[in-house]
Structure 1
């Protein structure tokens, strides 16, 4: 009887979480712990209170790429080389940097979630080590095809009933789903339209262990065939088969903005009316 009640409680907890989860949050559900320092490009972003809130990618010695909606968290510090969060202050591999400047994509729209990109310039260059490596972007990134298996990683929540970030860096595999499919009523991810500047990815088979990037993984990279193709952006609920995660796609326009901003720290673009 006790086991039955426990199972019922877990089920109710999952349902309530899925119904109440807000958009603009992302976490690793159903993933596995990453081997120490095997993803040396991962960055962990801390707010003004000293709490980890988002992920990111170290593109060069002074630049980190993340998601524009993370700006709401007032990011002040970036930590590189983190294996476990609790040990990050004393771990000799970790390098801490304050944020000198921040550049939100000029066309980011919080209402539609398009162009969810954010660049952070660090106050001091990061030194490459065995635990910290840069991950420069390719000049052009092919649109990932339906069925492509990709990886998402971060320190976000690992349990829908425990709203705490993971102490360990976690990763999970997700499958790319066609935008047309994600925009169908069955798969509709909240009120947002999945555009050509987004990638939709989640679970497509009958495996009951649904893996998902669903609060804490926002801004982290979506890696396909070893190449970063996107940034964890938004979703509804967690590990919900009919609500796949959505990622900002690193289109040519986005890559041009990133390169120009890092080079000249300025970028002019006429944004479409939303």
Structure 2
């Protein structure tokens, strides 16, 4: 069957319009299932020696950023290797990673919880000492309350196998009761961990969001630690419970 050039052109136009809609669609997502965040200058992006963002963090004092312990290590052929402080750069108030906005600060020291061995065992906590103080207001640490809504922030993947985001995104998830967390996460420690997410999944932090903040009622209650996949049903995200470590911060 022959197809007229006019019909070919019309079909091509429709295809272009559909493709543009598909490309634009991920911009409406956040982390997994959320939205583009508003300005949050205390949310930190951690950059490696190549200048690539790989983890998040939160400003808890003018010269200190809290993150996950596993963000201070990198995987090598012989196992995890410690990152040197000078290999890291903290960027604050940079909503869009494609820009040079915000403040870049070097790292002069790293404190990692001495009991940390693996994310599944807990104690996934580290504090980065900055080269100097910054002018942004730090976020205060508080207690997590089961049943309350919490917000996770990050530049991580927008789907389990999807692309990372250039824009800071946020997602609201409910803090789950400890018995729910223990049923879903092997080795769950109620003293040092918390979990958050919907039973049916759909919203979650994801790869690239590690170390980033979980905030509830204006207080920093958790640090993104780990999860089985992203936003899967029955698999809430695991976070470091910061109230347990308040005296270390």
TM-score, reference length from structure 2: 0.78
Residue segments in structure 2 that go unaligned for 5+ positions in a row: 1-29, 75-82
How many pairs align?
209
Contact 2:119 2:226 in 1 (8 A): no
Deviation, 1:179, is 1.8
Deviations 1:111-169 (A, max 9, x none): 6431111000111222x2xxx432243xxx33412x2111111111113333x421000
State which of 195, 198, 211 in structure 2 corresponds to 1:200. Answer: 195
Deviation, 1:105, is 1.2
Secondary structure at the aligned position of 1:217 is classed as: coil
- Report 1:157-236 matches (<5 A): 157-162=157-162, 164-184=163-183, 188-189=184-185, 191-204=186-199, 210-236=202-228
Aligned to 2:124: 116
- Report 1:33-112 matches (<5 A): 33-35=36-38, 37=39, 39-73=40-74, 74=83, 76-87=88-99, 89=100, 91=101, 94-110=102-118, 112=120
Larger radius of gyration: 2
Q: Which of structure 1's runs of 4+ aligned residues deviate more than 4 A? A: none
**Distance (Å, rounded) in 2 between the aligned partners of 1:122 and 1:143:** 27
Secondary structure at the aligned position of 2:46 is classed as: strand
State which of 35, 42, 46 in structure 2 corresponds to 1:32. Answer: 35
Please give the root-mean-square deviation of Cα atoms over the aligned residues, in Å: 1.9
Secondary structure at the aligned position of 2:248 is classed as: helix
Aligned to 2:139: 135
- Report 1:257-272 matches (<5 A): 257-258=248-249
Deviation, 1:239, is 0.9
**Distance (Å, rounded) in 1 between the aligned partners of 2:54 and 2:68:** 11
Deviations 1:173-208 (A, max 9, x none): 011112212222xxx23x43243211111013x6xx
**Distance (Å, rounded) in 1 between the aligned partners of 2:120 and 2:56:** 21
Residue segments in structure 1 that go unaligned for 5+ positions in a row: 1-26, 259-274
Distance 1:211 1:79, change over 3 A: same
Contact 1:214 1:236 in 2 (8 A): no
Contact 2:172 2:203 in 1 (8 A): yes
**Distance (Å, rounded) in 1 between the aligned partners of 2:195 and 2:233:** 12
TM-score, reference length from structure 1: 0.71
Aligned to 2:21: none
